[in-house]
């Protein structure tokens, strides 16, 4: 009965919970002073650390800052276009003023793009460019051609950075599965040895570890099946 909770399964739970559980088990393993446990404890510490580091790497991406920077640049060019159109609508005359008003209507339909999420933002900008590009003469006369061209380049960059980030994440996910599986197997090996040792030699050397791990299981996984 004492070891029953120790037998709770830790398979169908999130990576975050498994990671927190393993880190606590590693800390609890310091109470296993007998050298009989050293091999199992050392192996678990190594694999638990590998899983923890893999999870940490998955949270970050070298491409995320670049993606955000591109989005900010797109916003800047969009604001410049809007400013130029406001100027043309107020200060120009004739056809230029009329064309500026038409383009402003397109911007109103899209709305306040800088305040939307990244993917929707880029989709909206792409739609805007699709509307504007056929009007090359108007863009030139209003001084907008350069801005539209730069926005096109930035959208291409955005797509490339997103693709590269997705590929990175896919690779990290595979590694995370491998390191988690290994760490859970190493925990199971330590648990089995602790239980067997307790049956044969009593719980003098293992009581503290079993108590700490059981408390962790109750705290982190109260609904996990036995």
- The number of helices, as runs of H, and strands, as runs of E, in the chain is 8, 0
- State pLDDT tens for residues 20-35: 999 999 999 999 999 9
Enter the pTM of the model.
0.55
- State pLDDT tens for residues 82-127: 899 899 888 888 888 988 888 888 777 676 776 777 778 888 888 8
CB atoms within 10 A of CB 15: 16
Supply the pLDDT for residue 61.
60
Q: Is 141 helix (H, G, I), strand (E, B) or coil?
A: helix
Residues of the chain with pLDDT under 70: 1-6, 8, 11, 57-62, 109, 111, 114, 169-172, 222-226
Supply the pLDDT for residue 225.
42
User: In this structure, what are the phi and psi dihedrals at residue 92, rounded to the nearest 5 degrees?
Assistant: -90, 180
Supply the pLDDT for residue 27.
96
Rounded Cα distance between 53 and 57, Å, is: 6
Rounded Cα distance between 59 and 75, Å, is: 26
Both structure tokens of 24: 């606590």
Domain boundaries of the chain, sorted by first residue = 5-60+169-220, 63-162
Supply the pLDDT for residue 172.
66
């Amino acid at each position: 009965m004492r070891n029953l909770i120790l037998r709770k399964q830790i398979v169908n739970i999130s990576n975050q919970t498994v990671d927190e559980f393993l880190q606590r088990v590693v800390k609890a393993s310091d109470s296993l002073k007998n050298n009989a446990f050293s091999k199992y404890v050392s192996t678990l510490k190594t694999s638990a650390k590998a899983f923890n580091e893999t999870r940490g790497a998955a949270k970050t991406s070298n491409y995320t800052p670049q993606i955000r920077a591109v989005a900010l640049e797109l916003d800047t060019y969009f604001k410049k276009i809007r400013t130029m159109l406001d100027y043309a609508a107020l200060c120009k005359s004739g056809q230029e003023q009329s064309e500026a008003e038409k383009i402003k209507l397109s911007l109103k339909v899209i709305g306040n793009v800088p305040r939307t999420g990244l993917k929707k933002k880029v989709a909206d900008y792409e739609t805007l460019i699709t509307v504007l590009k056929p009007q090359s003469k108007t863009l030139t006369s209003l001084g907008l051609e350069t801005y539209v061209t730069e926005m096109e380049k930035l959208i291409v960059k955005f797509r490339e950075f997103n693709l590269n980030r997705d590929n990175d994440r896919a690779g990290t996910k595979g590694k995370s599965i491998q390191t988690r599986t290994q760490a859970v197997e190493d925990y199971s090996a330590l648990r089995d040895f602790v239980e067997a040792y307790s049956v044969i030699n009593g719980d003098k050397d293992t009581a503290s570890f079993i108590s700490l791990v059981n408390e962790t299981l109750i705290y982190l996984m109260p609904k996990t099946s036995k």
